[in-house]
Amino acid sequence: MPDTAPTARSVADRSNLYAEITARIIAELEAGRLPWVQPWGTPATSAPLGLPRNAATGRAYTGVNVLILWGAVVARGFSGQGWLTFRQALALGGHVRKGERGTTVVYADRFIPDDERRRARDTGDELQSVPFLKRFTVFNCDQCEDLPDSIAVAPPPIPEGLILPRAEALIRASGVDVRIGGARAFYSPQHDYVQVPPPQAFFEPVNWHRTALHELSHSSGHPERLNRDLSGSFGSRKYAFEELIAEISAAFLCAALGIVPTVRHADYLGVWLDVLRADDHAIVRAASQASKAADYLLGFLPEAAPAAGDERESV
């Protein structure tokens, strides 16, 4: 249990913490999701239905922490409902994987301010306590390594055949940390990992490959790889230009691997048009960067990896 004695900073911060939690729930509702009705048993998450628990103590989280941790499980594709603090993971003989981002939960308690003690002493009235929240950080067991077998949760395997062997071989050989799960596809430059929903989350599972290769193309721009400028903020032309590179690179990779996904809805079409209209060299530069990204990734492809549609004779 965390230390419940409030500091001056925690007291001053409690209103902000209430506001942060409320804003998070409002964002879920505005997106059409009810944070207390999670899509368990759907392709969006492989985690079982249940209350989140502290994996070290077995104690179930309660109140708003359930909503916060459920939301993190769905958004980030965790395979279980077990959580640990950084120190608890170490005490169990494991550790939080480097670069992992924790989830902020809260501990609710009450305290009596000094002014209230003086008021009660002067008036003889009963003391009135004040509620406060204290934040602390937990990590899903999926974000930890070397935990005891009784705590670590292995994610369920993807059904055979949904990821084509040559694409799987390329992704594995690239060395990029690709995590399958959750409801969003993205590349995190800060932590250098790719997140992609599972193939069965797509209306046509073959389209998973285009999305995975798109995000893998983003990862090729990491400073230790091709060192592209990935600093563009969402909605900026720099961001749109990098999206254009990744989209073209994914098309090149699909072609090289013999994968024929359906046409993608152009999520950034308007911004791409702005980029191309503003700079008539942009498409040439984007295609050039896309070729470099595709060639870089294809360079990891094992020679023996079968192409999509390859037929193998039985012996």
Q: Is 104 helix (H, G, I), strand (E, B) or coil?
A: strand
Long-range contacts of 232-235 (CB under 8 A, 24+ apart): 235/271
Instruction: Specify whether the CB–CB gap between 116 and 130 falls below 8 A.
Output: yes
With respect to residue 154, please indicate whether it lies within any of the assigned structural domains.
Answer: no
Task: State the residue range of the domain holding 69.
Answer: 8-145
Distance between CA atoms of residues 92 and 49, nearest Å: 25
The share of the chain scoring above pLDDT 90, in percent, equals 31
Report the mean per-residue pLDDT for the chain: 80
pLDDT tens digit sequence for 125-182 = 777 776 677 888 999 998 998 999 888 666 566 777 888 899 999 999 999 999 988 7
pTM of the model: 0.61
Q: 249: closest CA among 220, 282, 279?
A: 220
With respect to residue 228, please indicate whether it lies within any of the assigned structural domains.
Answer: yes
Q: 81: closest CA among 139, 159, 21?
A: 139
Q: Residue 306 has what pLDDT? A: 47
How many structural domains does the chain have? 2
Q: When comparing pLDDT for 66 and 314, which is higher?
A: 66
Q: Is the pLDDT of residue 18 over 90?
A: no
With respect to residue 45, please indicate whether it lies within any of the assigned structural domains.
Answer: yes
133 and 194 belong to one structural domain: no
Distance between CA atoms of residues 312 and 315, nearest Å: 9
Distance between CA atoms of residues 78 and 186, nearest Å: 15
Q: Residue 1 has what pLDDT? A: 43
With respect to residue 305, please indicate whether it lies within any of the assigned structural domains.
Answer: no
Q: Is the pLDDT of residue 266 over 80?
A: no
pLDDT band at 99 (very low <50, low <70, confident <90, very high): confident
27 and 108 belong to one structural domain: yes
Q: Summarize the confidence of residues 93-121 as an average pLDDT.
A: 82
With respect to residue 1, please indicate whether it lies within any of the assigned structural domains.
Answer: no
pLDDT tens digit sequence for 187-197 = 999 889 999 98
With respect to residue 24, please indicate whether it lies within any of the assigned structural domains.
Answer: yes
13 and 127 belong to one structural domain: yes
DSSP-derived letter for residue 141 is G
250 and 130 belong to one structural domain: no
138 and 253 belong to one structural domain: no
67 and 173 belong to one structural domain: no
Q: Tell me the range of 3-17, 172-186, 292-306 where mean pLDDT is highest.
A: 172-186
Instruction: Specify whether the CB–CB gap between 135 and 6 falls below 8 A.
Output: no
Instruction: Specify whether the CB–CB gap between 253 and 290 falls below 8 A.
Output: no
60 and 23 belong to one structural domain: yes
With respect to residue 307, please indicate whether it lies within any of the assigned structural domains.
Answer: no
Q: Write down the residue that tokens 């359930």 correspond to.
A: 66
With respect to residue 126, please indicate whether it lies within any of the assigned structural domains.
Answer: yes
122 and 240 belong to one structural domain: no
